[in-house]
Structure 1
């Protein structure tokens, strides 16, 4: 009788420890979607348009629709340094992957190009605007990114008050006809293992730690670019 009670007590302690472990260590609620493509060789000059903060007017969480794909994201605060960080990482990764002419289009560059267009940019859809910018720059295609949420982790590796949360997308648009050849999006808010047991693989890959928004965004962008076969 005593042995049975001892065994029950041991199992209770083990399960309690496991529950506490899962509450402390993080895994992810993660959505990554992209189709794998081979980028046509005739797209030699590609403009990389700086990531745009889609929540620039407010820090409130709201639904925001992507102007190119129509997909709806839950937006949120975006750290001021995030658009430049993601843009730089995207451009660096592309230049490492392929020997093509990648040119960065900054917000200032974009404003100057828009000012020189015959049609008012205010009345143009984003797709038509990107086509006009591409033609004005004699480019074959554009890579366009939108940033919907970039919330930094509040806490440390093993304990957080608020987890990191990031959402963005990237589109490859052909200048000649405006066709969107490739789209990838990343949407993740880190959760505990108890909240999402199906993501146990990523839990161990991250060594059971709460990661930063920068780490999350970098990994997400790398995963997206794996499907963009460009040489």
Structure 2
């Protein structure tokens, strides 16, 4: 009540409005839509993830889409495709690898080596599912798990850090697969289009964290990867 009294007595309406917005955001921030989701799966036999083979990040193929949606071959989730700029998958891959390496907890088999083994194995086992082929690849590389991911939206910012005509928009998913049987150990998904504080009061925390800047698509990707790795098995 004391805070409300101060607001009512404020001589500057603009200041009062800002304070009201801040107070409302504190009460309502829990209702804000989440742009990051992760899930760890219970395994019959728990696995200690130390060595990870990383498969090159893939761009989902719009040719396989039905009503602009595609079902993930690994987890079965249905995602809506958006525009993906050239080389976006390489940007996502670089960012994810960097975040994994910064933990200092994992031995990483690089994507180019993983892909080489996959090309040979998939040609010899044409009837295998994607997870089946990936499991064989991981076992041959002596990995505990294999990381498979895809990007389904990657739109770059148009403009500058403090003024833009179009905000960056990024959506990608990562899957950690047990090489013993192809089962999922962990899954993470990030889907975000940056909005201004005026567009969405629920973005107050992000607004201050980003210092009021409009992020590039790479910076947005790094935000998502950082959040995902916090829940990654064995990262903490």
TM-score bracket, normalised by the shorter chain, equals 0.7 to 0.9
SS of residue paired to 1:69: coil
Q: State the Cα deviation string for residues 164-215 of structure 1 (Å, max 9, x = none).
A: 0000011111100112111111000112323322221111211222211011
The yes-or-no answer on 1:190 pairing with 2:194 is yes
Partner in structure 2 of residue 32 of structure 1: 36
Structure 2 counterpart of 1:208, from 199, 202, 212: 212
TM-score where L is the length of structure 2: 0.74
The yes-or-no answer on 1:110 pairing with 2:124 is no
The yes-or-no answer on 1:84 pairing with 2:90 is yes
Structure 2 counterpart of 1:65, from 71, 89, 107: 71
Q: State the Cα deviation string for residues 134-190 of structure 1 (Å, max 9, x = none).
A: 123232210111111110011122322221000001111110011211111100011
The yes-or-no answer on 1:141 pairing with 2:106 is no
Q: State the Cα deviation string for residues 10-40 of structure 1 (Å, max 9, x = none).
A: 74xx49x97xxxxxxxxx9751001469xx6
Q: Would the alpha carbon gap of residues 178 and 109 (structure 1) be closer, same or farther in structure 2, given more than 3 Å must change? A: closer
Which runs of 5 or more structure 1 residues have no equivalent in the other structure?
1-9, 19-27
Greater relative contact order structure (CA < 8 Å, 6+ sep): 1
Partner in structure 1 of residue 22 of structure 2: none
- Greater fraction of residues in strand: 1
Q: Would the alpha carbon gap of residues 204 and 96 (structure 1) be closer, same or farther in structure 2, given more than 3 Å must change? A: closer
Partner in structure 1 of residue 80 of structure 2: 74
Q: Would the alpha carbon gap of residues 159 and 185 (structure 1) be closer, same or farther in structure 2, given more than 3 Å must change? A: same
How many Å apart are 1:92 and its aligned residue? 2.7
How many Å apart are 1:47 and its aligned residue? 0.1
The yes-or-no answer on 1:49 pairing with 2:55 is yes
Tell me the C-alpha RMSD between the 2 structures: 3.2
Paired positions, count = 207
